[in-house]
Amino acid sequence: MRIGVLTSSRADFGIYLPLLKALKSDVFFELKIIVFGTHLSSFHGETVNQIINEGFEVNFRIESLLLNDSAESISTAIGLTTIKFGNFWETHRSEFDLVFCLGDRYEMFAAVTAGIAFNIPFAHLHGGETTLGAIDNVFRHAITLASKYHFVSTEAYAQRVKEVTGSNENIYYVGALSLDNLKGLNLLTIEQFREKWNIDLSNKTVLVTFHPETIMAEENIHHTEQLVKVILEHPDFQYLITMPNADTSGNAIRKILENKLSALEYVYLIENLGSQSYFTAMKYCSFLLGNTSSGIIEAASFGKYVINLGDRQKGRASGGNVIHVPIDHLAIRNVINTLSIDTSFKGGNIYFKDNTAEQIIEKLKQIEYYAR
C-alpha cells in the first residue's frame, strides 16, 4: 500500500513519528514523506534535518513559506502553497493510495485544499478537536471535510467529526498518536541533558511554550508582556522556553522574549529541542506554563500540572492536571504561588489508548483489503 505523509513542522513530525516508524518497518507499506512549511525554513531551525536524523528519507520538498507572519503574508502563503501543491498532485497523484495529513495548520490546509480537485484520498489525524483561540479551528474542520478517513484522539472528537462530515463512515477512535512516542522514546538523563544543552534540570524548572492567539491577534503583545512579568517576578525558577511557531504575531512574541529575557541567567530560549529533549524536560520540570497542545495532551502522562494560558486551547478536552488561567500576570502569579511543585498528577491521561500506531496500521490494511 503506497502511503504519503504530509509534514510541515516540527510539531506534526513529532506526532507522526510512531506511525512513521510502524509504516517504515512493515513491508506491506511503501512510505513517501512530503516535506514543506517551516521544516524548510532556516529561521525555524530547518527541522527537515530531524526527519533525516531519525532515519527517514525525504522524498519530496515543497518550498512555499514566507518569512513575514502578518495576516496578509499568511494568506499569501496559503495561496502559494495551494499553487505549489496543485502542481505536485498533478504530477504525483498516481503514486499514492492514501495520504496522511494532521491537525490544523494553515499550510496543511493549503496542501489538502489543492488535493481536493484530484480526489486525493486523505486520512486526517486529530480531527474533531476545537481551539477557539486560533483560526486553525477553521482549517482543522476544513481538512476534516476534505478527508476520506479520520483517526481521532477521543470518542467526543469522533462524534464531532460525524457532525462536521454528516457521516459516520471511516471514523476511527484510536487515541492520541503522540503518546505512543512516550513508550519507545529513550529520554535523556539529567546529566546527558546538561551536556547537550548546558541546562541543569535538577534545578526547579518551568517548561514554557507560548504561541500567538490568532483570533485576537492584536492582544498578543500585551499577552506576552504579561508572561514576561511573571517570569521576572519569579526568578526562583529557571525557565526553559521553546520559541513560538509561524502564526500571525509569532515574530512579535519572539522579539519580546529575546529583548526582555535573553540576558537573564535563569532563562533559556531554545528554538527547537526535538522530541527526545522536549519530553526529557517535561519529565523533570516542576510544571508547564503556556498555551501549547502538548500541555493538554502529553503532560498528564508525565504526571505534570499545566498552567494553560488564555484561549488558544479553549474548547479542547483537558484533564484534571490542566489549570486554565487568563493571561494576566497577577492571576498567573496566584496560581504559581498555590501550586505544589512537589506534587505529581495521578489522574491518568484522557487521550491515552493502547498502541495507537498499531491500531492505525491495522485499519490501513483493512482499508486496502476492502478497496481491492
Task: Tell me the three-class secondary structure of the chain, residue by residue.
Answer: CEEEEEECCHHHHHHHHHHHHHHHHCCCCEEEEEEEHHHHCHHHCCCHHHHHHCCCCEEEEECCCCCCCCHHHHHHHHHHHHHHHHHHHHHHHHHCCEEEEECCCHHHHHHHHHHHCCCCCEEEECCCCCCCCCCHHHHHHHHHHHCCEEEECCHHHHHHHHHHHCCCCCEEECCCCHHHHHHHCCCCCHHHHHHHHCCCCCCCEEEEECCCCCCCHHHHHHHHHHHHHHHHHCCCCEEEEECCCCCCCHHHHHHHHHHHHCCCCCEEEECCCHHHHHHHHHHHCCEEEECCHHHHHCHHHHCCCEEEECCCCCCCCCCCCEEEECCCHHHHHHHHHHCCCCCCCCCCCCCCCCCHHHHHHHHHHHHHHHHC
State residue 238 phi and psi, 5-degree precision.
-100, 150
Amino acid at 141: H
Which tens digits make up the pLDDT trace of 215-225? Answer: 666 788 999 99
Tell me, what's the pLDDT at 90? Answer: 98
Contact 226, 329 (CB under 8 A): yes
Tell me, what's the pLDDT at 137? Answer: 83
CA distance linking residue 205 with residue 197, whole number of Å: 14
Residue ranges covered by each domain of the chain = 2-175+353-371, 190-338
Tell me, what's the pLDDT at 370? Answer: 62
Tell whether the model's pLDDT for residue 323 goes beyond 70. yes
Tell me, what's the pLDDT at 86? Answer: 98
* Range in 79-83, 312-316, 329-333 with the lowest mean pLDDT: 312-316
* Range in 61-65, 228-232, 334-338, 366-370 with the lowest mean pLDDT: 366-370
Q: Long-range contacts made by residues 13-16, C-beta under 8 angstroms, separation at least 24?
A: 13/39, 13/47, 13/50, 13/51, 14/178, 14/181, 14/275, 14/278, 15/102, 15/103, 15/125, 15/126, 15/177, 15/178, 15/181, 16/100, 16/102, 16/125, 16/177
State residue 156 phi and psi, 5-degree precision.
-65, -35
Model confidence at 141, pLDDT cuts 50, 70, 90, reads very high
Tell me, what's the pLDDT at 371? Answer: 62
- CATH code linked to domain 2-175+353-371: 3.40.50.2000
Q: Find cell 512537589 and name the residue.
A: 342
Amino acid at 2: R
Cα distances (angstroms) measured from residue 217 to each of 66, 67, 94, 247: 18, 18, 40, 10
Tell me, what's the pLDDT at 72? Answer: 87
pLDDT (average), residues 361-365 = 97
For residue 141, count CB atoms less than 10 angstroms from its CB and return exposed for 0-12, middle for 13-18, buried for 19 or more. buried
Whole-model pTM? 0.83
Model confidence at 228, pLDDT cuts 50, 70, 90, reads very high
* Range in 175-179, 227-231, 274-278, 366-370 with the lowest mean pLDDT: 366-370
Which tens digits make up the pLDDT trace of 159-199? Answer: 999 999 999 999 999 999 989 988 867 899 999 999 999 99
The CB density around residue 40, as the number of other CB atoms within 10 Å, is 18
Q: Measured over all CA atoms, what is the biggest interatomic distance in the chain, rounded to whole angstroms? A: 63
pLDDT (average), residues 326-352 = 90
End-to-end Cα separation, the chain, in angstroms = 11
pLDDT (average), residues 240-269 = 88
* Range in 30-44, 104-118, 254-268, 317-331 with the lowest mean pLDDT: 30-44
Tell whether the model's pLDDT for residue 10 goes beyond 90. no
* Sheet containing 171-173, strands listed edge to edge, beginning at the edge strand earlier in sequence: 58-62, 30-36, 2-7, 98-102, 122-125, 149-152, 171-173
Tell me, what's the pLDDT at 247? Answer: 61
Provide the CATH topology of domain 190-338: Rossmann fold (3.40.50)
Give the best-scoring range by mean pLDDT among 40-44, 87-91, 138-142.
87-91
CA distance linking residue 271 with residue 74, whole number of Å: 21
Tell whether the model's pLDDT for residue 372 goes beyond 60. no
Tell me, what's the pLDDT at 177? Answer: 94
Mean pLDDT of the chain: 92
Tell whether the model's pLDDT for residue 358 goes beyond 70. yes
pLDDT (average), residues 277-296 = 96
Please determine whether the domains at 2-175+353-371 and 190-338 fall in the same fold group of CATH. yes
